Amino acid sequence: MKRILVVTAALSVLMLAGQARSQATQEKIYRARDRVYPALVHIQPVVKDYNTGELKKQAVIGSGVIFHPDGYVVTNYHVAGKAARIICTLWDKEQVQAEYVGGDPPTDIAVIKLDLSNHPDGIPVAEFGNSDSVQVGEQVLAMGSPLSLSRSVSSGVVSTKDRYFSSDVRLPSGERTGRYNLWIQTDAAINPGNSGGPLVDLDGRVIGINSRATLFANNIGFAIPINIVKRVTEAIIADGKVHRSWIGVHCQALQELEDYFGSDRNRGVLVSSIDPGSPAEESFIKAGDIILSVDGEPVSARFLEELPVFYNNIASRPSGSEITLTVLRDEEEYTFTVTTRELGDLQGEDFEVSDWGFTVKGITRQMKIDNQLRDSLGVFVTGVKRVSSADVGGLRSGDVITQINKVPVQDLGDFITRYGELSEQTGKILLTTRRGGAIRLVVLNLDKNEEDTLEG
Amino acid sequence: MKGRSVIVAVALAILGLGAAASPANAITTDFDFGRLSKQVEQYSLVMEMKLELSFGMQTTEQEITLLATVVSKDGLVVFDGTTLDLSDPFNTFSSFSIKSTPTRIEFKTLDGSTTYEGEYIGNDRYTKIGMARIVDSTGTEFPYCKFSNKASLSTGDWVALYYLLPEFVSPRVGADIGMVSTVIEMPEKFPMIVGFGPHELVSVLFDQNLNPLGVLGMLPDPASGSADGSMRSFGGDDFPIMGLIGADKIAQLVADPPVKGQIVRGWLGITLQALTRDIQEFFNIEAGGGIIVNEVMTGSPADVAGLKVGDILIDVNGQAIEVDTEEKLPVFQRRISEMGPDTPVEFTVIRTGDDLVDTTNVTAILGKAPIAATDAEEYENDKLEIKVRDLVFTDYMLYNVEPEEFSGVVVSELEPGGLANIGGLRIGDVVQRIGASEVNSVDEAKVALEALLEKDPSEVVFFVWRNNKTMFVNVKTE
């Protein structure tokens, strides 16, 4: 009897202590909420989709957070990047228009600017924290509009802070993403619609931008660390985009390959692949080279998670700058000078070829490399409208149009000019296309009667 | 009484289906099955075959029993090879092909009195007729089926065959009859026969005079030129269109049996497109159809003959090429293919300049078709549990790379949980270096890998091409 009493007493002491702690935590959560919640934005962009062969406008939902008194809101590129118009709902439930300022597909970050004409007294602004000092296990709040349920808060902890995804991950608009940043993983519930919303620490500072959730899993969400976001948003406000230098090397973690290459641990970055026609190729850098230093500064990527540091090291230099790489090849050291180039846009500009029933985009250098095209000439077909003359003629998305009526097409501008000249024309138009390695001729039959029959 | 009338009605209905198109006075069942069965017993064998089936990384064993027919006195045998050849000569882009390899063949006479060992020779690509040989060193002359190419079949004719019954049934074969429902022009004549099922494929077909005319086969699919695509919607269900593969084709197979990996197809070396009505109108050409030359491979027979990109072929050896839709392309491809290497072929070519259209004749000597992925040389390493094969022509097309700039061997199989699989290699990877050695062929891969493994290393590093990029893969050996 006595023993039970003792146990009970001990338990109640414990419970009291726990209650005190949880009360303190609760206070912190309220405080953190109050510092960011008013700056939370429910974003309803109308995005342009070209993938069905015609321009279609589609309303989507995302989240964002105001980070600048001038009305700048950070969100995801995959939320606002292709927006035709953007409507935002603010803390006071007022709806305002926003304009697209710019975006950065490689980090999936975009900036929009609110129209503040109805908010003469200013707006609440959230404060960015420091993602480098985030602790695994630290309690965090995710805020946003999951499944369009605006002003929702969920809570969890930082599950890990250095998750890396290889650059094979693509945004819905086709760009590769994830090469230049690590991710904060959290178990705070993140659902579609949370995209672009803030991940907040208990000091009420934004430590990440929630960007991704894992389908078929519970509570595995990913946020872009705010220190990356700070750099990207500054560049976007200044210039509409992030400029990156490019030399065309792809790297791989050196872990467990040191013996093979006869290299030291924690020294050097392994080059695994070289883009054709890149500065690295022109400077005779080869797959299998281990870059030991860049401009005399040692670099290292023994683990996957260290790769973004190296990629950013190269990317952050002004394009056109000469960099000196010290390289270990066949256990000897060599020095190479590489002149960087601007990475440029990952995807070209979209264009709807409405009279002919398909959509195209310009071919950027990165698209040429990604799609293994022999050159950048022509335009890239992104969609073909069903039962259009292009569809009937056999045009398919992924084809590259290289000629119209046997005259070469240089680029998207050239294509648009030629299309303008021919769009009123009926009769037949011959497109020469390339699909993978094979050339194909496609005849567009623009005979009005026949088209009517098909569509009727 | 009532029950019986139902049975009769059903029987009539079944007969009615088969006989609907036949003339009322045809004596449909006038076969002397007594004589026929004696004839069939002489040269028919029960074939028991063990198979290794692999699909990508998975391998299973299977045993099948078929009715086989001896077709030459030295013991060549034909059988239904559809389970053996699942590849398609015009569609070998995938490295994930299903493959089946016979590991053991045994022949038994129908009465079970004699057993022979057998050896697989190959499959005919177009008819899917399998060929094997009785392994015999005694010089025995085997009784064989002497096919007749004298008789021809027309709509309404009846034919008979014997098919294999299950093992617990004696005798082992049963008779069946079918009717020629029409004669399809392929452009060769193909008498289509109804009344038979897929289990009766490659059985010998007899006319009512008991002449063996050929074997039951499937209609080659015009889209691939071979019989594996002919599972066409037929009466609501997918069902092969079957008919007579004649004596001439079998004689050809006996004279020149198909061999795995041997190149027997003719090749021109162009990429091509059908001359559709729209394209004809665009170029202001009037033709029943034709072939547009989209690319000419350097050094190919077409290149040597002087064919140019943009040329339009409208006839071959004086015969019009009536290809006016993409679906008919394989008819032309098959025609070239079947002519075989070293055959001179004359084309009438329309050459379209800026404004003028010029007609000229070009003679090309066909080359040998590049081998298919499924026929490529392979090497298997048991320690790492990996199979690699040589790169073939279609790989370069698929990967959109130039053969001069690209070399290696393709990972064609990986055992799940095997060392290579755990180490991170994937099917479809192109291995370009093993350890420090460049690898350009399976022979080089074998030499490089075995030399490395002999030293009993703890790891083997592969340099591979995957998804348009290269990378290093470290495979632990323990």
Say how far apart CA A393 and CA A402 lie, in whole Å. 16
Per-residue pLDDT tens, chain A, 456 aa: give them. Answer: 445 555 555 556 556 666 666 788 899 999 999 999 999 999 999 999 998 899 999 999 999 999 999 999 999 999 999 999 999 999 889 999 999 999 999 999 999 999 999 899 999 999 999 999 999 999 999 999 998 888 899 999 999 999 888 766 788 888 888 899 999 999 999 988 999 999 999 999 999 999 988 777 788 999 999 999 999 999 999 999 999 999 999 999 999 899 999 999 999 999 999 999 999 999 999 999 999 999 999 999 999 999 999 999 999 999 999 999 999 999 999 999 999 999 999 999 999 999 999 999 999 999 998 888 888 899 999 999 998 999 988 899 999 999 999 899 999 999 999 999 997 778 889 999 988 767 889 999 887 544 444 443
Query: Chains A and B: how many Cβ contacts under 8 Å?
Result: 69
Say how far apart CA A94 and CA A119 lie, in whole Å. 10
Q: Is the dihedral of CA B19, B21, B25, B30 positive or negative?
A: negative
Q: Which of A370, A437, A441 sits opposite B279 (nearest CB)?
A: A441
Within a 10 A sphere around the Cβ of A43, how many other Cβ atoms?
A: 29
Q: Is A319 a catalytic residue?
A: no
Say how far apart CA A293 and CA A335 lie, in whole Å. 9
Does the beta-carbon distance from A439 to B467 stay under 8 Å? no
- A-chain residues within 8 Å CB-CB of B400? 372, 436-437
Residue A42 inside a domain? The answer is yes
Q: Do strands B344-352 and A350-353 pair parallel, antiparallel, or not at all (unpaired)?
A: unpaired
Residues A216 and A256 in one domain: no
All residues at 6 or more sequence positions from A4 whose CB lies less than 8 Å from its CB, including other chains:
none
The predicted structure's pLDDT at residue B287: 86
Q: Which of A260, A272, A440 sits opposite B294 (nearest CB)?
A: A440
Q: Do strands A127-128 and A205-213 pair parallel, antiparallel, or not at all (unpaired)?
A: parallel
Say how far apart CA A271 and CA A167 lie, in whole Å. 15
Cβ contact A278:A302 at 8 Å: no
Task: Report residue A257 CA to chain centroid gap.
Answer: 30
Residue A23 inside a domain? The answer is no
Of B41, B284, B110, B85, the residue nearest B201 (C-alpha): B85
Of B344, B375, B374, the residue nearest B263 (C-alpha): B375
Domain boundaries, chain B: 22-262, 266-368, 376-476
Of A436, A440, A427, A411, the residue nearest A356 (C-alpha): A427
Looking at the DSSP bridge assignments, the partners of residue B459 are B476
- End of a domain among A305, A324, A342? A342
Would the pLDDT of B11 be above 60?
no
- A-chain residues within 8 Å CB-CB of B279? 430, 441, 443
The predicted structure's pLDDT at residue B29: 63
Minimal CA separation from B292 to chain A, in Å: 9
Say how far apart CA A210 and CA A205 lie, in whole Å. 14
Say how far apart CA A41 and CA A125 lie, in whole Å. 11
Q: Which contiguous run of DSSP H or E holds residue A217?
A: none
Quick: pLDDT tens for B404-440.
888 999 998 888 889 999 999 998 899 999 999 999 9
Residue A410 inside a domain? The answer is yes
Q: Is A195 a catalytic residue?
A: yes
Q: Is the dihedral of CA B36, B37, B41, B45 positive or negative?
A: positive
Residue A136 inside a domain? The answer is yes
Of A420, A350, A406, A411, the residue nearest A383 (C-alpha): A350
Which residue in A42, A49, A63, A108 is the catalytic one? A108
- B-chain residues within 8 Å CB-CB of A428? 278, 281-282
- A-chain residues within 8 Å CB-CB of B434? none
Structure tokens at A330: 């066949």
Quick: pLDDT tens for B142-181.
999 999 888 788 899 999 999 999 888 888 899 999 999 9
Fold agreement between B266-368 and B376-476: yes
Residues A312 and A376 in one domain: no
**CATH number of the domain residue A135 falls in:** 2.40.10.10
- End of a domain among A61, A88, A114? A114
Q: Which residue has the tokens 């973690």?
A: A253
Torsion of CA B235, B237, B238, B241, to 10 degrees: -20
* Nearest-by-CA chain B residue for A260: B461
Which residue in A78, A173, A275, A300 is the catalytic one? A78
Residue type at A241?
K
- B-chain residues within 8 Å CB-CB of A394? 326
Say how far apart CA A40 and CA A150 lie, in whole Å. 9
A297 touches chain B (CB under 8 A): no
Segments in B24-161 forming alpha helices (H): 33-43
Q: Which residues of B34-65 are buried (b: 16+ CB within 10 A; e: fewer)?
A: eebbebbbebbbbbbbebebbebbeeeeeeee
Confidence of residue B82 (pLDDT cuts 50, 70, 90): confident
- B-chain residues within 8 Å CB-CB of A439? 271, 294-295, 309
All residues at 6 or more sequence positions from B183 whose CB lies less than 8 Å from its CB, including other chains:
B153, B154, B155, B189, B190, B191, B192
Residue A203 inside a domain? The answer is yes
All residues at 6 or more sequence positions from A348 whose CB lies less than 8 Å from its CB, including other chains:
A361, A362, A363, A364, A367, A379, A380, A412
The whole-chain average pLDDT of chain B stands at 82
Segments in A112-254 forming alpha helices (H): 226-239
- B-chain residues within 8 Å CB-CB of A330? none
A259 touches chain B (CB under 8 A): yes
Say how far apart CA A127 and CA A121 lie, in whole Å. 19
The predicted structure's pLDDT at residue B187: 60
Helix, strand, coil abundance in chain A, percent, nearest 5: 25, 35, 40
Burial class of residue A196 (count of CB atoms within 10 Å of its CB; 0-12, 13-18, 19+): buried
Residue A54 inside a domain? The answer is yes
Quick: pLDDT tens for B92-119.
333 344 567 788 899 999 988 899 999 9
A330 touches chain B (CB under 8 A): no
Which residue in A195, A245, A278, A389 is the catalytic one? A195
In sequence order, what DSSP letters do the residues of A254-308 get, joined into one string?
Answer: -TTTHHHHT--TT-BEEEEEE-TT-HHHHTT--TT-EEEEETTEE-B-SSGGGHH
Q: Which of A260, A272, A428 sits opposite B282 (nearest CB)?
A: A428
A281-285, B21-25, B339-343: which is most confident: A281-285
A174 touches chain B (CB under 8 A): no
Residues A398 and A333 in one domain: no
Say how far apart CA A422 and CA A404 lie, in whole Å. 10
Looking at the DSSP bridge assignments, the partners of residue B80 are B129
Residue A362 inside a domain? The answer is yes
Does the beta-carbon distance from B276 to A260 stay under 8 Å? no
Would the pLDDT of B255 be above 60?
yes
Would the pLDDT of B468 be above 90?
no
Helix (H, G, I), strand (E, B) or coil at A87: strand
Residues A51 and A106 in one domain: yes
Does the beta-carbon distance from B463 to A439 stay under 8 Å? no
All residues at 6 or more sequence positions from B333 whose CB lies less than 8 Å from its CB, including other chains:
B90, B225, B272
Q: Which residue has the tokens 């009993």?
A: B456
A440 touches chain B (CB under 8 A): yes
Q: Is A243 a catalytic residue?
A: no
Residue A191 inside a domain? The answer is yes
Does the beta-carbon distance from A439 to B295 stay under 8 Å? yes
Query: Which one of A402, A441, A447 would you mutate to disrupt binding with B, by most B Cβ within 10 Å of its Cβ?
Result: A441
Does the beta-carbon distance from B468 to A372 stay under 8 Å? yes
Confidence of residue B225 (pLDDT cuts 50, 70, 90): low
Q: Which contiguous run of DSSP H or E holds residue A23?
A: helix A2-36
Phi, psi at residue B433, to the nearest 5°? -150, 140
Mean pLDDT of B241-268: 81
Minimal CA separation from A321 to chain B, in Å: 26
Query: Is residue B261 left, alpha or beta, with left meaning phi > 0 and alpha meaning psi from -120 to 50?
Result: left
DSSP annotation of B186: S
Chain B residues whose C-beta sits inside 8 Å of any chain A C-beta = 271, 273, 276, 278-279, 281-282, 292, 294-295, 309, 326, 396-401, 459, 461, 463, 467-472, 474
Say how far apart CA B213 and CA B248 lie, in whole Å. 9
Q: Does domain B22-262 have CATH number 3.40.50.620?
A: no
DSSP annotation of A176: B
Structure tokens at B145: 């089926």
Q: Which residue has the tokens 């710019």?
A: A102
- End of a domain among A189, A220, A239? A239
Query: Which one of A275, A429, A440 would you mutate to disrupt binding with B, by most B Cβ within 10 Å of its Cβ?
Result: A440
Does the beta-carbon distance from B282 to A287 stay under 8 Å? no
Does the beta-carbon distance from A438 to B282 stay under 8 Å? no
Question: What CATH code is assigned to B376-476?
Answer: 2.30.42.10
The predicted structure's pLDDT at residue B354: 63
Cβ contact B302:B308 at 8 Å: no
Total domains, chain A: 4
Confidence of residue B138 (pLDDT cuts 50, 70, 90): confident
- A-chain residues within 8 Å CB-CB of B395? none
Say how far apart CA A232 and CA A109 lie, in whole Å. 7
The predicted structure's pLDDT at residue A176: 85
Look up the domain containing A442 and give its range. Answer: 350-455
The predicted structure's pLDDT at residue B62: 83
* Nearest-by-CA chain B residue for A439: B294
Residues A264 and A206 in one domain: no
Q: Which of A256, A274, A428 sits opposite B474 (nearest CB)?
A: A256
Structure ipTM = 0.84
Q: Which of B279, B461, B468 sits opposite A443 (nearest CB)?
A: B279
Q: Does domain B266-368 have CATH number 2.30.42.10?
A: yes
Q: Do strands A297-298 and A290-294 pair parallel, antiparallel, or not at all (unpaired)?
A: antiparallel
Q: Which of A256, A259, A439 sits opposite B294 (nearest CB)?
A: A439
